[in-house]
Amino acid sequence: MARMAQIRNIVILTGAGISAESGIDTFRSAGGLWEQHNVEDVATPEGFARDPDLVLGFYDMRRAALTKVRPNRAHDALARLEAEFAGEVLIVTQNVDDLHERAGASRILHMHGQLGSALCLACEMRSPIETALAERPPCPVCQARSLRPDVVWFGEMPYQMERIYAALREADLFVSIGTSGAVYPAAGFVRDARNLGVQTLELNLERSEGSHWFHESRHGKAGELVPAWVEEVLGSST
Ligand code: OAD
């Protein structure tokens, strides 16, 4: 990246590609989650109303799978960046896994929610999930057996949008890692950033739907590209 020494404020968007090398399926690759499951059935409010057991079971399965995976070099590198960079780093993730947290990062906004959290349809409070939701555990706050996964479904508003746009307005550099650029509003952040005069960089396995919007696009595995980029940033900012 040009002018790296002048970068003080970095906003990083991550998608399923950053967790792929940990062994979590992405959505749109061949054999990915949206080939294995029908999006309308498992990721919409209508699908949940039609067949709650199917939907609760789908998210219970994805949550259980998290216990078998670990953060990879890309998550580790972003946690290192947060710890060592002299300026500000914010991770905005579309991922519902907890691998950024487990790698040690702490400034994270989960715009599509989190597998480990439940949302009560009766009292609207959030709580950490202790028991499979398909077993209909009571809400720890109001005791209603009305918990749903605290994830954003198609047709619902992503979380934290005001904080994300505020962060973009303050940013000098926007970096997108491992996301196909197929789902809005996240897919539009690169254009929002450019309109604000922010430098933009994409790190992705291959060209994405949004690659042409970025000032620079690097292709390869996140586990290689991200540590190399973090090295570059830390090397030029000290
Ligand atoms: P996708 O599955 O759409 O895209 C993953 C991207 O990661 C693709 O562009 C891959 O080329 C890239 N990729 C795969 N392996 C990689 C690797 N090892 N290193 C780097 N890049 C790699 O996933 P997302 O863009 O995250 O939303 O999907 C966005 C949203 O669509 C998700 O949050 C989810 C989904 O429907 C909801 O469920 C609301």
pLDDT tens profile 145-173: 999 999 999 999 999 999 999 999 999 99
CB 39 within 8 A of CB 155: no
Residue positions counted in the chain: 238
pLDDT score of 116 = 98
Distance 43 CA to ligand 1 centre (A): 15
**Which tokens in the block code for residue 68?**
């078998």
User: What is the rounded average pLDDT of the residues 185-208?
Assistant: 98
Which pTM value belongs to this model? Answer: 0.96
Give residue 31's pLDDT band: very low, low, confident or very high (50, 70, 90). Answer: confident
Strand partners, 3: none
Nearest Cα residue to 159 out of 67, 101, 96, 104: 96
Ligand 1 near 183 CB (within 6 A): yes
What is the spatial distance between Cα 6 and Cα 86, in angstroms, rounded to a whole number? 11
Distance 175 CA to ligand 1 centre (A): 15
pLDDT score of 3 = 61
Please state, rounded to an integer, the average pLDDT across all residues of the chain: 96
pLDDT score of 236 = 85
pLDDT score of 193 = 98
CB 105 within 8 A of CB 115: no
Q: What is the DSSP letter of 137?
A: P
Nearest Cα residue to 56 out of 165, 159, 131: 131
Give residue 6's pLDDT band: very low, low, confident or very high (50, 70, 90). Answer: confident
The residues assigned a catalytic role are: 112
Distance 219 CA to ligand 1 centre (A): 14
> What residue owns the CA closest to ligand 1's atom 13?
17
Does residue 238 carry a pLDDT above 80? no
Does residue 181 carry a pLDDT above 70? yes
71 sits in the region (left: phi over 0; alpha: psi -120 to 50; else beta) called beta
Q: Which atom of ligand 1 is nearest to the CA of 14?
A: 26
State what percent of residues in the chain have pLDDT above 90.
92
pLDDT score of 35 = 87
pLDDT score of 146 = 97
Ligand 1 near 94 CB (within 6 A): yes
Q: Within 13 Å of residue 74, how many CA atoms lie on the same side as its CB?
A: 26
In this predicted model, what pLDDT tens digit does every residue of 54-72 receive, in sequence order?
999 999 999 999 999 999 9
The DSSP element (H or E) to which 216 belongs, if any, is strand 216-219
More confident residue, 87 or 236: 87
Phi, psi angle pair for 11, to nearest 5°:
-110, 125
What is the spatial distance between Cα 4 and Cα 39, in angstroms, rounded to a whole number? 40
**Which tokens in the block code for residue 193?**
């950033």
CB 195 within 8 A of CB 168: no
Q: Which atom of ligand 1 is nearest to the CA of 154?
A: 39
Does residue 73 carry a pLDDT above 60? yes
- Rounded to 10°, the helix 222-237/73-84 angle is 20
Residue-range domains of the chain with CATH: 4-22+71-112+158-236 (3.40.50.1220), 34-68+117-151 (3.30.1600.10)
Ligand 1 near 218 CB (within 6 A): no
Nearest Cα residue to 179 out of 21, 4, 76, 26: 26
Give residue 81's pLDDT band: very low, low, confident or very high (50, 70, 90). Answer: very high
CB 176 within 8 A of CB 198: no
CB 88 within 8 A of CB 105: no
Q: Which atom of ligand 1 is nearest to the CA of 179?
A: 25
> What residue owns the CA closest to ligand 1's atom 11?
205
User: What is the rounded average pLDDT of the residues 211-217?
Assistant: 98
Ligand 1 near 179 CB (within 6 A): yes
